[in-house]
């Protein structure tokens, strides 16, 4: 039979929870100062507002969880302003609150990078590759957007599933005989539109990627592919890719 916790032991547990909560909250509060690049005093809610209105790596996360973050701030104020009354602690955070705050610390102070989750070998095609080769890549790799490169290894754009379907449909309507082994990528429509793809750096966070996909949705057209390179330029080797199908994975992580 478990012995009841003595009053002194209970007080130690409560004191430990309070100190743990305040320490975790301080990590978030100080990191907000670092993100904003300010050394002057700003009220906590003002920091939240500036980050939400800005374009910082954690802006998206703060927007989504602003109510939770504000509540954590209110609880911090209640604890720190009334730490002890008559030598007793009256505001004591639950273990659930501490665990959730600790999770927020991880996501705010060290926001996860897309490259950690979406680094992969990205299949590409050249102008001289056949339509049959392209369709094989799309089928085996489950691609809807495939990057196209010239013989000089210069990025030219992407061929998309929807554009190929439209092109093939038009050929059939025109009664053109098609031999997909002889049709080259150079014969197909190649998209250079940022509505179909964008390049991002290896430093982009999950939250920033989520914001980019969301903005494209708001404009009425979903983004097909996000190509990851070391510095986010098309002149570099693609080291990872986030497709439209991966957005659900990002949403699960963010929310």
Identify the pLDDT of residue 5: 53
pLDDT in tens, 95-139: 999 999 999 999 899 888 999 999 999 999 999 999 999 999 999
Structural domains in the chain plus CATH codes = 7-111 (no CATH), 116-254 (3.10.580.10)
Query: For all residues of the chain together, what is the average pLDDT?
Result: 87
Triad 117, 241, 148: Cα angle to 5°: 165
Please report where in the chains the tokens 């500036």 appear, as a residue. 50
Q: Look at residue 133 and give its three-state secondary structure.
A: helix
* Integer Cα distance of 222 and 114 in angstroms: 19
Structure tokens at 63: 């927007």
Is 36 in contact with 25 (CB distance < 8 Å)?
no
The predicted-structure confidence for 174-224, as pLDDT tens digits, reads as follows 766 677 788 899 988 899 988 889 999 999 999 999 889 888 888 877 788
pTM of the model: 0.79
Percent of the chain predicted with pLDDT > 70: 91
**Which position has the higher pLDDT, 158 or 254?**
158
Beta strands in 107-190 (DSSP E): 125-126, 145-149, 155-160
Orientation of helix 66-81 relative to helix 44-53, angle to 10°: 170
Average pLDDT of the segment spanning 21-39: 94
Q: For 223-251, write each residue's pLDDT tens digit.
A: 889 999 999 999 999 999 998 778 777 87
- Residue 85 confidence (pLDDT): 56
Q: In this predicted model, which residue has the larger pLDDT, 101 or 142? A: 101
What pLDDT sits at residue 193?
87
Query: Contact at 8 Å (CB) between 147 and 158?
Result: yes
What is the C-alpha to C-alpha distance for residues 227 and 148, in angstroms, rounded to an integer?
12
Question: Distances from the Cα of 152 to the Cαs of 136, 156, 160, in angstroms?
Answer: 23, 11, 22
82 has pLDDT over 70: no
Give the total residue count for the chain. Answer: 255
Query: What is the pLDDT, as a whole number, of residue 251?
Result: 75
């Amino acid at each position: 039979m478990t012995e009841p916790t003595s009053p002194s032991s209970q007080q130690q547990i409560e004191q430990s929870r309070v100190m743990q909560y305040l320490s975790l909250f301080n990590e978030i509060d100080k990191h907000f100062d670092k993100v904003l690049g300010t050394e002057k005093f700003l009220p906590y809610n003002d920091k939240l507002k500036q980050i939400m209105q800005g374009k910082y790596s954690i802006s998206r996360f703060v927007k989504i969880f602003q109510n939770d973050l504000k509540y954590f701030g209110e609880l911090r104020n209640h604890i720190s302003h009334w730490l002890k009354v008559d030598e007793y602690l009256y505001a004591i955070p639950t273990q659930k609150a501490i665990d959730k705050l600790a999770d927020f610390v991880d996501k705010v102070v060290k926001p996860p990078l897309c490259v950690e989750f979406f680094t992969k070998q990205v299949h590409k095609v050249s102008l001289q590759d056949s339509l049959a080769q392209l369709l094989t890549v799309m089928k085996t790799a489950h691609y809807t957007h495939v990057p196209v490169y010239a013989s000089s290894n210069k990025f030219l754009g992407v061929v998309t599933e929807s554009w190929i379907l439209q092109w093939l449909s038009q050929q059939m309507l025109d009664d053109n005989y098609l031999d997909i082994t002889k049709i080259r990528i150079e014969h197909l429509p190649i998209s250079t539109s940022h509505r179909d793809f964008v390049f991002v750096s290896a430093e982009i966070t999950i939250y920033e990627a989520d914001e980019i996909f969301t903005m494209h949705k708001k404009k009425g057209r979903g983004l097909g592919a996000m190509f990851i390179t070391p510095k986010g330029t098309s002149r570099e080797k693609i080291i990872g890719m986030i497709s439209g199908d991966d957005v659900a994975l990002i949403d699960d992580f963010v929310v």
